[in-house]
Chains A and B, each alone.
Chain A
Amino acid sequence: MGQKLLEMYGAAKKLGGLNAQIRLAVLTNSPSTKALELPDSPENIEKFNKAMDIVRKEFS
């Protein structure tokens, strides 16, 4: 449950620290602590991927 989503938080943090992690949480409306409770559904993964694209642009 939510393993891939959690990994995206890890990737965001690696990219831009806590700020990037917060940005991902704000863009997805899901705090990282809740990521594990969410299913790794295609919809969720798509939503997180889109958000990650923005985070990558802003923090790279």
Chain B
Amino acid sequence: MSDIKQLPEIIKVDKEKCVNCHLCIGVCPVKYCNDASNEKEGIKINSNLCIGCGSCIKACTHEARTFIDDTEKFIEDLKNGVKIGTIVAPAVDVNFPHQLKNLLGWFKSLNVSMNFDVSFGAEITTYQYLMAVKSGAKTPIIAQPCPCVVSYIETYKPSLIKHLAPTGSPTMDMAAWVHHNYPGMKLAFISPCIAKKREFEDPNTKGMVSYNVTISNLKKYIHDNGINLDSFAETDFDGPMEAEKGLLYSQPGGLYETFKRYNVPLKINQVRKTEGSEIYEEFFNELEGELYKGTCDVIVVDVLNCLHGCNRGTGTNYKERTTDDVLKLQAERLEKHKNQYYPNQESMEKLEETLQNMEDIDFSRSYTDRSEFSKALQEPSPEITDIINQEMGKFDKKDIKNCGACGYASCKNMTKAVLNSLYRPEQCHHFLESFFKENSK
């Protein structure tokens, strides 16, 4: 048994609802976290191989996959008098349009001690990246606000671990600041992301955040309990100060927008912005290749699992609004903020001064090589692939259809699933077709 801490389960499978259609495997960027070997059990998930991207939940039309968060525990603990502060993701504003301050007021009515804005955590993070670049950190620095990216690299691309930013995510940086200034307070992250639960339970993040409260489940609680947010007093965050461009961190490219403030002379090809499934299918493979060849010029990688960033993350009600709606709301907030809090150079200087005066806070972050879990999967040799194909009635090139009906995208990938006892070969489209033809003669 490995000494490495098991990743917490964040996706549940309802075996009564799972029809073994394999759509979840089809959209899964890492495939072999799904165990489709037992029809009665439904398609189970191996949490140590799952990166928590949430694609399967979105794809499942049978509502067989749902996520796990801490909303219920958060509310229960508040009722029991536990001292809890919230740290609120930048994505919350666009998911509660024009009600963010009422939401903070409602939290206070629930006895939340204090509320903090993770957008300010993003300002800290950006400043820490700047310091890392200046102090000669290994480039490219892969930004890691996204826990799916961290899980993916730790499990499947260990050669890139040394490139993960040596400092925390905006959430963790905000949490570090709060713990430094208000020790003893448990923190709940109001979150657009189901995978953040993993970041919080990772020993490398020092247990600074106790609850991952998703926007989606929070909205459900508000709805189910007939709570009218507008009836709660508008309440401001409790410090340290308002964020500037950090407000944009939840959208693709937000990091660079914030980074630009420092006038670091970066060329357009030195900041790589990428998001969505492309990151697993292409980007990380290409980056690894470029680093191997020594041809990589990238300084900062701004990478997110979700195509439209955290604003439409896995813990939000995705279909509630379009990306254009989101961008409009974010632009409005940014403009209002700029006018109200950052109207002049003096206010910018105050922000810089605040960020510079945090030297005594530990924002560092380390990582764990979890690749033993992916390396435990057997890779089929060409000979074994041939043997498996032949047992499944695939004797010629024309039988290798790569139809993807199994979810593995290619017959070769499917043989790996068969070899690792993760797939019932009787489900193969070619096998079924051959079997039908043979038996209907």
Asked whether B391 lies within 8 Å of A22 as measured between CB atoms, the reply is yes
| Complex alpha-carbon distance, A21 and B388, angstroms | 9
Asked whether A29 lies within 8 Å of B387 as measured between CB atoms, the reply is yes
Q: Which residues of A contact B386 (CB under 8 A)?
A: 31
Asked whether A30 lies within 8 Å of B387 as measured between CB atoms, the reply is yes
Asked whether B426 lies within 8 Å of A32 as measured between CB atoms, the reply is no
Assuming the A-B contacts A17-B426, A18-B426, are A29 and B383 also in contact, with contact meaning beta carbons closer than 8 angstroms in the complex? yes
- CB-contacts of A1-26 with B (<8 A): 17-19, 21-22, 25-26
Asked whether B388 lies within 8 Å of A33 as measured between CB atoms, the reply is no
Q: Which residues of B contact A22 (CB under 8 A)?
A: 387-388, 391-392, 418, 425
Asked whether A33 lies within 8 Å of B390 as measured between CB atoms, the reply is yes
Residue from B391, B419, B426 with most neighbouring chain A CB atoms (10 Å): B391
How many A-B residue pairs have C-beta atoms within 8 angstroms? Tell me. Answer: 41
Contact pick for A25, options B37, B388, B426, CB 8 Å: B388
Asked whether B418 lies within 8 Å of A19 as measured between CB atoms, the reply is yes
**Which interface class (under 10, 10 to 19, 20 to 34, 35 or more) fits A?**
10 to 19
| Complex alpha-carbon distance, A32 and B395, angstroms | 12
Q: Which residues of B contact A26 (CB under 8 A)?
A: 384, 387-388, 419
| Complex alpha-carbon distance, A58 and B388, angstroms | 18
| Complex alpha-carbon distance, A29 and B419, angstroms | 13
Interface string of B416-427 (1 = CB under 8 A from A): 001101001110
Closest chain-B Cβ to A17's Cβ sits at a distance in Å of 7
| Complex alpha-carbon distance, A18 and B384, angstroms | 15
Residue from B387, B419, B421, B426 with most neighbouring chain A CB atoms (10 Å): B387
Asked whether A32 lies within 8 Å of B391 as measured between CB atoms, the reply is yes
Residue from A19, A21, A33 with most neighbouring chain B CB atoms (10 Å): A19
| Complex alpha-carbon distance, A11 and B387, angstroms | 18
| Complex alpha-carbon distance, A30 and B387, angstroms | 7
Q: Which residues of B contact A17 (CB under 8 A)?
A: 424, 426
Asked whether B391 lies within 8 Å of A31 as measured between CB atoms, the reply is yes
Q: Which residues of A contact B421 (CB under 8 A)?
A: 19, 58
- CB-contacts of B387-421 with A (<8 A): 387-388, 390-392, 395, 418-419, 421
Asked whether B425 lies within 8 Å of A18 as measured between CB atoms, the reply is yes
What residue in chain B is nearest A34 (Cβ atoms)?
Answer: B390
Assuming the A-B contacts A18-B426, A19-B421, A19-B425, are A25 and B392 also in contact, with contact meaning beta carbons closer than 8 angstroms in the complex? no
Asked whether B387 lies within 8 Å of A21 as measured between CB atoms, the reply is no
| Complex alpha-carbon distance, A34 and B366, angstroms | 53
Interface string of B9-43 (1 = CB under 8 A from A): 00000000000000000000000000001000000
Asked whether B383 lies within 8 Å of A18 as measured between CB atoms, the reply is no
What residue in chain A is nearest B435 (Cβ atoms)?
Answer: A18
What residue in chain B is nearest A31 (Cβ atoms)?
Answer: B390
Assuming the A-B contacts A18-B392, A19-B418, are A25 and B387 also in contact, with contact meaning beta carbons closer than 8 angstroms in the complex? yes
Closest chain-A Cβ to B43's Cβ sits at a distance in Å of 16
Q: Which residues of B contact A31 (CB under 8 A)?
A: 386-387, 390-391
| Complex alpha-carbon distance, A33 and B37, angstroms | 24
Q: Which residues of A contact B431 (CB under 8 A)?
A: 18
Q: Which residues of B contact A19 (CB under 8 A)?
A: 37, 418, 421, 424-425
Closest chain-B Cβ to A12's Cβ sits at a distance in Å of 10
Q: Which residues of A contact B383 (CB under 8 A)?
A: 29
Q: Which residues of A contact B419 (CB under 8 A)?
A: 26
Q: Which residues of B contact A18 (CB under 8 A)?
A: 391-392, 424-426, 431
| Complex alpha-carbon distance, A17 and B383, angstroms | 22
What residue in chain A is nearest B428 (Cβ atoms)?
Answer: A18
Q: A18-B424, A22-B392, A25-B388 are in contact. List 11 more A-B contacts (CB 8 A).
A: A18-B391, A18-B425, A19-B424, A22-B388, A22-B391, A25-B391, A26-B388, A29-B383, A29-B387, A31-B391, A32-B391
Closest 3 CB pairs of A and B: A31-B390, A22-B391, A18-B425
B interface residues, Cβ below 8 angstroms from A = 37, 383-384, 386-388, 390-392, 395, 418-419, 421, 424-426, 431
